[in-house]
Amino acid sequence: MSIISPLWLVVLEITCFFVIHSYGSYGEHMPLRTLNGFTHEAAMLGLKALKASITRRDSIASTPPSYSSSLSPSPLPSQDLKKPYVYLVTSYGADPTGNADSTEALLAAIADAAKGPSEGFLMKDIKDLGGAQINLEGGKYMISKPLQLPVAGVGNLMIHGGTIRASNNFPPDGHLINLSTSEDSKPYNYEYITLKGLLLDSNFRGGGISVKKSLRINIDNCYITHFTTTGILVQDGHETYIRNSFLGQHITAGGDKQERNFSGTGISLQGNDNAVTDVVIFSAAIGIMVTGQANTFSGVHCYNKATGFGGTGIYLKLPGLTQTRIVNSYMDYTKIVAEDPVQLHISSSFFLGDANIVLKSVKGVVNGLNIVDNMFSGLDKGVDIVKLDRSNGPFNQIDQVFVARNVVKGMNLKATTAKMSMQGNGTSWTADFSKVLLFPNLIKHVMYSLSANGNTFPNHALRNVSQNRVVIETDEAVNANVFVTVDQGNTS
């Protein structure tokens, strides 16, 4: 009977311990690997059997069991990680460090994607690219001219995942990404183009994104800065959705010493049926300029340029047919201006630092206006929460206007409906609403009640309504309580 060397046993024990311990700790989480054509599990069984045969006292060695030929190696994962219709810009020669000009490389990737395989059609004459992606791979790319699709009539395409910066010779009137074309034959240039996860730095030369005559465009999770014209320009077409994005000419978090010099426009909507949701505009002369109809804004935070420095948060410059809804937004030291608003709704929003709403007369029209359920917090400087700009003339066509239920602190409350109670002894009661009512000398509807004390039953009547004052008289002196409600907005 042979005796195994103690040193050999120690080495074998250590080897088996590390191998088995490693497998026991991590094996259930590791993919099944191969070892010389055998599975890792089979190899462990062989090592255990070898150890047992060596340590038997009646034999120096035993033949280890043969491995079953039925245990076939697991297939290796595919080495081809490039998915169909994904265009990696570095494979076209783009420089992800931003040191070299990547314009032509990015345009080549865009051109290949635009002429890629078609999955059918979206709108008439718009080819469905099947969700093709132009992947910026998290790099930083410098360009010297706008990135533009080479042809019109394509859709279902995404550009995402990186930074694009204008070079020092980028056209000052251009946009980094330009979804437009010189073709005018198609009703829409593009449909369902998504720009996502992009940082666009215009380098104070032009703008960020231009979308012209296109349909159902998504701009999502983008950071657009250092523009001089517009961060995002939307012309014609409809249903461009801008969401979860940040725009600012200068990178600041408020209180910038150069704020009075901010210029440019964060977003310009010159088309219909667009939506801006959960967007911050932190520096620009105008946050959002609207010259198209039926647009909606929700969760917008504007602190682009304070009203005191001449800034405007949202400017509705389409007198006569506004059709705009602004809800759940935050106007931070900057105002909303609406020219001749028709069908405008502003509600559930917060106005800070004397930020207010200005109704600007162009032809003197305001019709279908709701300003309700907002909060205003001011600096006790006597600023009206809603102001009439009559520099071009008075408002003389006023109908269906309801300004009410707003909570105000440090500013002057303005409304189109008001209530007042009075108590006294006499024959005349005057309720003066001139400080509260929005429009001068315009009370369209009055309701009042007179409750006389004692046993008298006086005759009483509404005697005068002018200059937003209501006069009620009785035919004899009485001790009475008078309650008056007035409304400027209803015609009925």
For residue 76, the model assigns a pLDDT of: 42
Among 72, 74, 92, 1, which residue's Cα sits nearest to residue 33?
74
Q: What distance in Å separates the CA atoms of residue 76 and residue 254, rounded to the nearest whole number?
A: 55
CA distances from 14 to 7, 27, 45, 444 (A): 11, 19, 16, 97
Token digits for 464? 């005068």
Q: What distance in Å separates the CA atoms of residue 179 and residue 176, rounded to the nearest whole number?
A: 10
Among 315, 319, 306, 415, which residue's Cα sits nearest to residue 351?
306
For residue 120, the model assigns a pLDDT of: 79
SS3 of residue 226 by DSSP: coil
Element (H, E) at 419: strand 417-432
Exposure string for 248-283, b = 16+ CB within 10 A, e = fewer = bbbeeeeebeebeebebbbbbbbbbbbbbbebbbbb
Q: What distance in Å separates the CA atoms of residue 142 and residue 168, rounded to the nearest whole number?
A: 10
CA 203, 204, 206: angle at the middle one, nearest 5? 100
Q: What distance in Å separates the CA atoms of residue 202 and residue 230, rounded to the nearest whole number?
A: 10
For residue 182, the model assigns a pLDDT of: 76
For residue 181, the model assigns a pLDDT of: 85
Residue 90 has φ and ψ, to the nearest 5°, of -70, -25
pLDDT tens digit string along 144-157?
A: 999 999 999 999 99
The DSSP code for 384 is: B
Residue recorded with tokens 């078609």? 118
Report the relative pairing of strands 296-298 and 324-327 from DSSP bridges: parallel
User: Residues in the chain with pLDDT < 50?
Assistant: 1-38, 54-82, 492
Token digits for 4? 């195994």
The DSSP code for 16 is: H
Q: What distance in Å separates the CA atoms of residue 65 and residue 295, rounded to the nearest whole number?
A: 77
Q: What distance in Å separates the CA atoms of residue 300 and residue 239, rounded to the nearest whole number?
A: 18
Q: What distance in Å separates the CA atoms of residue 357 and residue 363, rounded to the nearest whole number?
A: 18
Token digits for 118? 């078609």
Among 1, 21, 7, 9, which residue's Cα sits nearest to residue 55?
9
Q: What distance in Å separates the CA atoms of residue 68 and residue 82, rounded to the nearest whole number?
A: 37
Beta strands in 167-214 (DSSP E): 175-179, 190-201, 207-212
229 burial level (CB within 10 Å; 0-12, 13-18, 19+): buried
Our CA dihedral for 226, 335, 327, 330, rounded to 10 degrees, sits at: 60
CA distances from 111 to 157, 164, 264, 295, 367 (A): 12, 17, 31, 32, 49
pTM of the model: 0.82
For residue 49, the model assigns a pLDDT of: 55
CA Rg value for the chain? 36
Q: What distance in Å separates the CA atoms of residue 369 and residue 366, rounded to the nearest whole number?
A: 7
Q: What distance in Å separates the CA atoms of residue 41 and residue 31, rounded to the nearest whole number?
A: 11
For residue 42, the model assigns a pLDDT of: 56
Q: What distance in Å separates the CA atoms of residue 213 and residue 216, rounded to the nearest whole number?
A: 10
pLDDT tens digit string along 12-69?
A: 444 444 434 444 443 433 343 333 444 555 555 555 555 555 444 443 333 444 433 3
In 222-319, alpha helices (H): none
> Across the strands, what pairs with 389?
360
For residue 39, the model assigns a pLDDT of: 52
